[in-house]
Amino acid sequence: MYKVFIGLGSNVGDRLENLKNGIDKISSHKKINLISKSSIYETEPMYYKNQNHFLNMVLEIVTDINPDELLRLFKDLEIKLGRKSNEKNNYPRKIDIDILEFNKFILDSEVLTLPHPKIRERLFVLKPWNDISPDYIIADSDKSINELMLLLDSNDKIVKFYINKI
């Protein structure tokens, strides 16, 4: 079984319901066991600023699905949950599911890079991840999630939106 951390985000429609639907679909898969889920945080968009704020969270799962298959599964789930297949990166979306870290694997293929290459710059990933696994050290780092989070600008606007009961 593989330990996997995934990020979920939404900034279109009923953002909380979109995250809930994502969690439900992921946790109901027969080969995925949901271990923990962070609180939900509201964050300003990071790259393309002219859009609604996001709700973001991190899940810890265990699975025996390999990284490429898991990526395909999540891309299919995004489409089923209302994401348009031609959406540009960093633009508004109903749901976004990213594999952040996969069992300490290091991978760089045309379709998937592990660990996710932008973890270190994204407080909207590190803050919720810190809720569930602050001491975790990603594959290509010598710093914990908490240490990586503390290196980022604390002036970034990230607000605990919802203490997760979904």
The tens place of each residue's pLDDT in the chain, 166 residues long, gives 999 999 999 999 999 999 999 999 999 999 999 999 999 999 888 777 778 999 999 999 999 999 999 999 999 999 999 887 666 666 688 999 999 999 999 999 999 999 999 999 999 999 999 999 999 999 999 999 999 999 987 656 777 776 655 6
CATH superfamily entry for domain 2-162: 7,8-Dihydro-6-hydroxymethylpterin-pyrophosphokinase HPPK (3.30.70.560)
Give pTM, 2 decimals: 0.92
Asked if 82 and 70 touch (Cβ cutoff 8 Å), the reply is no
DSSP codes joined into one string, 48-91:
S-SSPPEEEEEEEEEESS-HHHHHHHHHHHHHHTT--TTPPTTS
